[in-house]
Structure 1
Amino acid sequence: MKIALVHDYLTQKGGAERVFELLCKRYPEADIFTSLYNPQETIDLGDRAVNTTFLQNIPGAAKYFRLMAPLYFPAFRALDLQDYDLIISSSTSFAKAVKKKPGAIHICFCHNITRFLWDTETYLREYGDYRYFAPLIEQVFQAMRSVDLRYAQEPDLYIANSSIVARRIRSTYGKKAIVINYPIDTGKFSFTNTKQDYYLASARMISYKRLDIIVEAFNWLGWRLLISGNGPERDRLQSKAMKNIEFVGHVTDQERTQLFANASSVIVAALEDYGLVPVEANASGTPVVAFGAGGVLDTQIPGKTGVFFKRQTPDSLQAALLEAREISWDYEGIRNHAVKNFSEQAFFSKVEQVIEQTCSLYQSSTRFVS
């Protein structure tokens, strides 16, 4: 069986890209396709060949990849995937639009529906400069929504990373989705039973991550907080932070591993569709204090692996932090929870069963029709 792996764009290194990296490692003989590729800014694919679209030839496209939005659908439709029996796409937006040959199977790992089209207000708020062009953007997006709906029918099966994403796929695209929580490389995280007296927030500094809530809560508590990551919100957040809060910026993978392992708790204030950070914290034996909505409802056990706060407010977060401080955590149990449920082995055991069942079902229906 000849396999093609397709991702929206490889111009950054986020959660979706880390999942795609695992897929590439799992299927070393598969061919890789994407719209834009910047090897210096994304996952490590070694010496694997990466096939790109005509967008790769546009000067500056990889840097300003968001401005290419209207061109992605035609770019993916133009890819020649007629030699492939199985297409596995990894998508939050465009890769699901690829064309397959008759009889081929397309399975889409959908990290979310196309967010900027279906949650435009949040998108524009996150990228503040775009709001000046809101009327024009809305006209373009309105036209793109119908295209997105049409191409959303291309995959034969959707795999969602969380229950909330599966509900969005069904309500927006009218397609059912199987929920398989995405994995982490548990071997990359170290475990210790001895935690240090600091808390950790690890996130890109953009508005929806709600780091402002965390800063304000720790300003009031006076506890030591480390914040790793960078982004457009950094200067504003630093200007509000007291001396107990330290911004450590970009850290290496090794430094990040140690930060996760030694923290008293990892704090997550965003409404995440899935969220790898809480799972990574658990893999380090570290409990999570998280806003109790979205993906964490699939990954965390209240009182066992973490504590939820009900509202995205500093007061609600403070109450959860005080609650977490009184719990005698079973750090080894937290680690075991992550390894059992979110390891690569657990993930691919489920994925390959689904792929096998889908291929068998499709082949059976094809024989029946013929």
Structure 2
Amino acid sequence: MSTASPSVALVHERFTDWAGSEMVVEQLAHEWPQALVHAPVVQAETVPAHLRPRLRPGRLSPLARPGGGYAHLLPLLPVAHARTRLPDVDVVVASHHAFATQVVHATDAPVVAYVHSPARWVWDREMRRGEVGGAAGEALLGAFSAAFRPADRRAAGRVHTLVANSSAVAERVERWWGRESVVVHPPVDVDSYAPDPATPREDFFLLAGRLVPYKRPELAVRAATAAGVPLVVAGDGRARAECERVAGPTVRFLGRTTDAEQLDLYRRCRALLMPGVEDFGIVPVEAQATGAPVIAAGAGGALDTVLPGRTGALVPEGADGAVERWAQVLATFDADVDPAAVRAHAESFSRARFRARMREVVTAVA
């Protein structure tokens, strides 16, 4: 096998929308321009045009519902990954957040798994609460999770090298799979989020992104209301109604925003808020790329991306009193940080750095 330029095949969970994990695959495809990209479910319209010619859809693709619906295919996805038809290559690189490590059963080549997280809903009961379908849906997902856990752990044990996208994910890999991993942070398009010295900071906090329960947007809304500080909410989702219900007069909802509008908000806000515990969290790095400080929950990916006192603040997690803790931080937050230092920190998560680190890992395996 060649150690200078190994041949690579790429595997991804599914292409039913375009978010952080898909951006990782895009950068992997950029680093290995000859690599084909395999996934059991592909809806090509969700993928940028430049990547579509390299997609190799699996047989389940025609069964996906319009708009990205794939939940009914859940029991079939592990088998589909295990039966992926792969070319003869030096290394297989799998982008994993649920079933992609099952591709170890489809190849004799060493597998490098980039782990966005072991499937949290498989291993953590709390992540199955509030499942669609109520108690029955939660029970079905729990039964599937219990049956799948041994296979999940076995496949992880056969992966040559596990790459975690944050220190928090590396800890889960060790706890749930019993494996060590190397941390390579995901790529962030920091070049598109440059600071603008001509745009002054204003006196409002910003909450940006999807308004979904696990991101805990209502915590930020309740805290801003309790502290009596201005909060702009840019985003939409099924948690919006609850956020609006608990919001006070200092909270303003913008709904979905364009990329240009979000960039402008990053440049003008006093600080970005990240109340949810993310595996990594791309939005805080985008904000820091503009020089904006970040106030985040002191857990998960924020432990890697936010430097207390230098690029923002971390709010301690606890069993109770979260609103009070956040309200106190918002009421007393001092945004006296060096925007250039904040920007420099964000640049350490660039796309180029990600590609270079992943090439080092894959070349070492080959």
Alignment TM-score, normalising by the size of structure 1: 0.90
Structure 1 CA distance for aligned equivalents of residues 155 and 303 of structure 2: 30
- Secondary structure in 1 aligned to 2:10? strand
Query: In percent, how many aligned pairs have the same letter?
Result: 28
> Letter of the aligned partner of 1:332 in structure 2?
A
Checking the alignment, whether the CA contact within 8 Å between 2:188 and 2:286 is kept in structure 1 is yes
Structure 1 CA distance for aligned equivalents of residues 307 and 163 of structure 2: 23
2:222 maps to which of 213, 216, 220 = 216
Q: Cα deviation per residue 1:250-307 (whole Å; 9 max; x = unaligned)?
A: 2222222222222110000111121112211111110000111111111221110011
Checking the alignment, whether the CA contact within 8 Å between 1:70 and 1:144 is kept in structure 2 is no
Checking the alignment, whether the CA contact within 8 Å between 2:273 and 2:294 is kept in structure 1 is yes
Structure 2 CA distance for aligned equivalents of residues 119 and 42 of structure 1: 30
2:327 counterpart residue number:
318
The list of structure 1 runs, each at least 4 consecutive aligned residues, that deviate by more than 6 angstroms after superposition, is none
Checking the alignment, whether the CA contact within 8 Å between 1:12 and 1:43 is kept in structure 2 is no
2:168 maps to which of 155, 164, 174 = 164
1:82–1:25 Cα change, 3 Å: closer
Checking the alignment, whether the CA contact within 8 Å between 1:87 and 1:100 is kept in structure 2 is no
- Secondary structure in 1 aligned to 2:133? helix
Checking the alignment, whether the CA contact within 8 Å between 1:31 and 1:50 is kept in structure 2 is yes
Shift of 1:88: 0.9
- Secondary structure in 2 aligned to 1:197? coil
Moved more, 1-10 or 348-357: 348-357
Aligned-pair RMSD on alpha carbons? 2.0
The structure, 1 or 2, with the larger RCO (C-alpha pairs under 8 Å, 6+ apart) is: 2
Matched, 1:135 2:115: no
1:335 counterpart residue number:
343
Structure 2, unpaired ranges of 5+: 1-5
Alignment TM-score, normalising by the size of structure 2: 0.90
Structure 2 CA distance for aligned equivalents of residues 320 and 53 of structure 1: 49
Q: Cα deviation per residue 1:225-267 (whole Å; 9 max; x = unaligned)?
A: 1212222111121122223222222222222222222211000
Structure 1, unpaired ranges of 5+: 360-370
2:295 maps to which of 289, 292, 298 = 289
Structure 2 CA distance for aligned equivalents of residues 251 and 143 of structure 1: 41
1:78–1:101 Cα change, 3 Å: closer
Moved more, 56-65 or 72-81: 56-65
Shift of 1:91: 0.9
> Letter of the aligned partner of 2:289 in structure 1?
A
1:327–1:260 Cα change, 3 Å: closer
Shift of 1:148: 1.4
Checking the alignment, whether the CA contact within 8 Å between 2:64 and 2:70 is kept in structure 1 is no
- Secondary structure in 1 aligned to 2:163? strand
2:354 counterpart residue number:
347
Checking the alignment, whether the CA contact within 8 Å between 1:107 and 1:157 is kept in structure 2 is yes
Structure 1 CA distance for aligned equivalents of residues 46 and 238 of structure 2: 18
Alignment size in residue pairs: 355
Checking the alignment, whether the CA contact within 8 Å between 1:105 and 1:156 is kept in structure 2 is yes
